[in-house]
């Protein structure tokens, strides 16, 4: 199923005001409904190796799986489950490649990357993340952070030591507790949510929320919603205006119309007897 006409999408990345190179990597396959973002870390240039591997691997594996799905014309009843498994397995494979590369190449020792991706299918979205790369959703003027950071600070919030408001102001926001490549096995957090027409999804590296409050991100999306390109540029500009201490990457997608999975003849016959 080609989803490229079902939603609009833009991807932007910027080095920021302090770093001398960009360790973020982003990529999309609109036909497959796949958006991928990674924020690399560890050693000079090694971070961009890790993020690049993550984005390339997941894009290739998920795109290939989606193409096989179309060719095989599988029934959609378990489609979302299959999509979720495919996304998780692709990220697990990326983790293994990054970890093996870090072990075999001295210049890449200790590298890793945070990661967030989403995959649209059958009026739903599979969301996968590791670390503090985030996904937000704007629906009918309600702006919500869908992913929760895998970070020491978030764990302290969960245990009641900080409020979310205090966490927003904390200077110790970047101690992640999960990342791709730092170990042979990684726990990928997966969730599935409904997608509706006019929903706007924002994937971003921590270079955006570390510099810009959620309320200001919300206001920017709402104000410039007629152009996702303008929204992305404004968000990057806001982050840079606040110091641009890290690389800043954003992917924005807006659902234009419903995208139900096509139902095969066997499914239609089955529903007649239910």
When pLDDT is averaged across residues 80-84 and rounded to a whole number, the result is 78
Nearest to 199 by CA among 141, 249, 145: 141
Q: Is the pLDDT at 190 greater than 50, yes or no?
A: yes
When pLDDT is averaged across residues 92-119 and rounded to a whole number, the result is 96
pLDDT above 90 covers a percentage of the chain that reads: 76
Q: Looking at residue 170, what is its pLDDT?
A: 56
Q: Looking at residue 67, what is its pLDDT?
A: 81
The sign of the dihedral angle between the CA atoms of 188, 194, 205, 154 is negative
Counting Cα atoms < 13 Å in the Cβ hemisphere of 29 gives 23
User: In angstroms, rounded to a whole number, what is the distance separating the alpha carbons of residues 219 and 16?
Assistant: 21
Q: 70 versus 147: which is more confidently predicted? A: 147
Count of Cβ atoms closer than 10 Å to residue 80 Cβ = 18
Structural domains of the chain, with CATH: 7-272 (3.60.40.10)
Q: Is the pLDDT at 116 greater than 70, yes or no?
A: yes
Q: What is the dihedral of CA 213, 219, 222, 228, to 10 degrees?
A: -50
Q: Looking at residue 266, what is its pLDDT?
A: 42
Q: Looking at residue 74, what is its pLDDT?
A: 53
What's the Cα-to-Cα distance from 149 to each of 35, 154, 234, rounded to whole Å? 18, 6, 24
Q: Which residues does 29 contact at the CB level (< 8 Å), separation at least 6?
A: 59, 62, 63, 66
When pLDDT is averaged across residues 112-116 and rounded to a whole number, the result is 97
Residue 106 — φ and ψ, nearest 5°? -60, -35
Q: Looking at residue 163, what is its pLDDT?
A: 65
Q: Looking at residue 263, what is its pLDDT?
A: 64
Q: 21 versus 75: which is more confidently predicted? A: 21
Q: Is the pLDDT at 159 greater than 70, yes or no?
A: no
- Whole-model pTM above 0.75? yes
Beta bridge partners of 154: none
Confidence category of residue 77, pLDDT binned at 50, 70, 90: very low
| 25-39, 64-78, 174-188 — most confident range | 25-39
Exposure of 165 by Cβ count < 10 A (0-12 exposed, 13-18 middle, 19+ buried)? exposed
Q: Looking at residue 165, what is its pLDDT?
A: 64
Q: Is the pLDDT at 255 greater than 70, yes or no?
A: yes
Write the DSSP symbol of residue 43. Answer: S
Model pLDDT for residues 200-249, shown as the tens digit of each residue: 999 999 999 999 999 999 999 999 999 999 999 999 999 999 999 999 99
């Amino acid at each position: 199923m080609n989803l490229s006409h079902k939603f609009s999408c833009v991807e932007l990345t910027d080095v920021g005001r302090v770093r001398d190179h960009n360790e973020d990597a982003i990529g999309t396959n609109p036909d497959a409904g796949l958006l991928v973002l990674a924020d690399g870390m560890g050693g000079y240039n090694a971070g961009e190796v890790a993020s690049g591997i993550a984005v390339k691997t997941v894009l290739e594996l998920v795109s290939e799986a989606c193409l096989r799905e179309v060719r095989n014309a599988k029934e959609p009843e378990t489609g979302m489950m299959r999509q979720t498994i495919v996304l998780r397995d692709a990220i697990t494979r990326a983790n293994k490649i990054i970890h093996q590369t870090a072990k075999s190449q001295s210049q890449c020792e200790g590298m890793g990357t945070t990661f967030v991706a989403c995959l649209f299918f059958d009026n739903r979205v599979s969301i996968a993340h590791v670390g503090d790369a985030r996904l937000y959703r704007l629906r009918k003027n309600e702006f919500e952070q869908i992913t929760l950071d895998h970070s020491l600070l978030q764990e302290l919030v969960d245990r009641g030591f900080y409020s979310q408001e205090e966490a927003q102001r904390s200077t110790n926001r970047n101690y992640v507790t999960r990342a791709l490549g730092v170990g042979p096995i990684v726990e990928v957090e997966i969730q599935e949510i409904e997608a509706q027409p006019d929903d706007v999804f924002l994937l971003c590296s921590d270079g955006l929320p570390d510099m810009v409050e959620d309320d200001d991100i919300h206001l920017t999306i709402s104000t410039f919603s007629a152009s996702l390109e303008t929204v992305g540029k404004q968000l990057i500009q806001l982050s840079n205006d606040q110091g641009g201490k890290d690389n800043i990457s954003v992917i924005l997608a807006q659902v234009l119309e419903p995208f139900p999975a096509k139902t095969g003849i066997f499914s239609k016959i089955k529903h007649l007897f239910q």
